[in-house]
């Protein structure tokens, strides 16, 4: 007895049904790839945590969602071949300091991102971190030498030679060129915060900011430092909160005094007023008025200001 036309049509339908889960799997793989590429995996949980913060917590925090860029990707004159790395604010001079990793220089910048002076760093291999302490004392980390050097700087300084200053061994890191890159001065707790780039880890070293480091470098547990790498650190002089910058995650993360995540900023076009993503964010600083600054390799400067209607009265 001949088969009906309907029975002949069944096999293709079953075949299509069998192929549908394969297309679903391929779609899931593509979606996951895009999510990783755009760093959605880094931000999804952060958005959820951020939305649950109380109004009081927001007022007492840096609260990064309220910031908007007002200097966007400004090129710093004469910095392109040097590759800017890290950034620190000096309350004494009301200027910013950055180090150049490719050709060792310490650079002083105005709060508008204008280059004021370039100071050669003699004897450094790969300076990557800078922290302004007290009385003109500055800490500089060298990622290749795995150490930090405390230098003294004033308005007449034209050159710094590491042989003239005390250096401190930071020890080895899992990856030779992914060592101790980030550093920040925590005046509230009288300590330097030191960050290992990959895997991201935090350490502290006690100092009063005027003289030498005391004791030993100590590990600072931070289970919520969920970043692909750690590029730079800064401490808010008002709240004491820590800002951790990750170039690989395109993310700036705020942690409270207990190391808990509070808020974040996505360094992508369309967020916080940015016209385009920040290519490779390597330095971050906060001044005593709450203005936020960043530098990106090779020579880009950014400034963010808080919305006046949301800024707390300090």
pLDDT of residue 307: 87
Can you tell me the distance from the alpha carbon of 119 to that of 276, in angstroms, rounded to the nearest whole number?
Answer: 31
Stretch 37-66: mean pLDDT: 70
The yes-or-no verdict on residue 17 having pLDDT over 70 is no
Query: Which residue did the predictor score with more confidence, 256 or 40?
Result: 256
**Mean pLDDT calculated for residue range 28-42:** 51
What is the tens place of the pLDDT at every residue in 229-272?
A: 999 999 999 999 999 999 999 999 999 999 999 999 999 999 99
What does the pLDDT read at residue 314? 40
Give residue limits of the domains in the chain: 55-306
The mean-pLDDT minimum among 6-15, 86-95, 147-156, 301-310 falls in 6-15
- DSSP-assigned letter for residue 4: P
Over residues 56-110, the pLDDT tens digits come to: 777 789 999 999 999 999 999 988 788 899 999 999 999 999 999 888 999 999 9
Average pLDDT value for residue range 197-204? 94
Specify the pLDDT at position 226.
86
Per 3-state DSSP, the chain is made up of helix, strand and coil in percentages (nearest 5) of: 20, 40, 45
Query: What DSSP state is assigned to residue 85?
Result: E
Per-residue pLDDT of 170-194, as tens digits, reads: 998 766 656 899 999 999 999 999 9
> In terms of residues, how long is the chain?
314
Which pLDDT does position 197 carry in this prediction? Answer: 93
Give the Å distances, CA to CA, from 269 to 37, 69, 123, 276, 278: 14, 11, 39, 4, 8
Confidence of residue 34 (pLDDT cuts 50, 70, 90): very low
Is 284:245 a contact under the CB 8 Å cutoff? yes
d(CA 172, CA 85): 21
**pLDDT at residue 6 greater than cutoff 50:** no
Please give the pLDDT value at position 4.
46
Identify the band that residue 49 occupies on the pLDDT scale cut at 50, 70 and 90: low
Q: At CA 247, angle to CA 179 and CA 152, rounded to 5? A: 55
Output phi, psi for 83, to 5 deg: 70, 95
Q: Which CATH number fits domain 55-306: 3.40.50.620, 2.120.10.30, 1.10.10.10, 3.40.50.2000?
A: 2.120.10.30
Share of the chain above pLDDT 90, in %: 70
Comparing 78-87, 135-144, 291-300, which segment has the lowest mean pLDDT? 78-87
CB of 272 within 8 A of CB of 68? yes
Instruction: Give the residue from 155, 157, 150, 257 showing the smallest Cα distance to 213.
Output: 150
pLDDT at 59 (0 to 100): 75
Checking if the pLDDT of 52 tops 60, the result is yes
């Amino acid at each position: 007895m001949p088969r009906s036309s309907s029975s002949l049509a069944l096999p293709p339908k079953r075949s299509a049904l069998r192929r549908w889960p394969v297309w679903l799997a391929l779609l899931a793989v593509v979606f996951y790839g895009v999510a990783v590429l755009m760093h959605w995996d880094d931000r999804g949980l952060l958005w959820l945590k951020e939305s649950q913060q109380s109004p009081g917590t927001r007022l007492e925090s840096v609260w990064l969602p309220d910031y908007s860029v007002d200097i966007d990707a400004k090129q710093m004159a004469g910095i392109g071949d040097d590759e800017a790395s890290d950034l620190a604010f000096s309350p004494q001079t009301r200027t910013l300091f950055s180090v150049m990793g490719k050709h060792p220089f310490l650079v002083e910048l105005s709060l508008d991102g204008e280059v004021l002076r370039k100071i050669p760093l003699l004897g450094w291999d790969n300076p990557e971190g800078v922290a302004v302490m007290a009385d003109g004392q500055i800490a500089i980390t060298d990622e290749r030498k795995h150490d930090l050097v405390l230098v003294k700087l004033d308005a007449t300084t034209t050159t710094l030679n590491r042989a003239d200053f005390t250096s401190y061994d930071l020890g080895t890191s899992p990856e030779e060129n992914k060592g101790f890159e980030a550093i920040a001065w925590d005046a509230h707790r009288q300590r330097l915060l030191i960050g290992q780039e990959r895997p991201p880890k935090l350490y502290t070293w006690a100092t009063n900011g005027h003289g030498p480091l005391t004791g030993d470098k100590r590990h600072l547990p931070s289970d919520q430092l969920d970043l692909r790498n750690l590029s730079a650190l800064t401490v808010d002089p008002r709240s004491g909160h820590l800002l951790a910058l990750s170039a690989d995650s395109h993310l700036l993360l705020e942690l409270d005094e207990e190391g808990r995540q509070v808020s974040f900023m996505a360094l992508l076009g369309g967020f916080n007023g940015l016209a385009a993503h920040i290519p490779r964010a390597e330095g971050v600083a906060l001044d005593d008025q709450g203005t936020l600054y960043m530098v990106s390799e090779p020579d880009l400067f950014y400034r963010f200001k808080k919305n006046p209607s949301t800024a707390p009265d300090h």
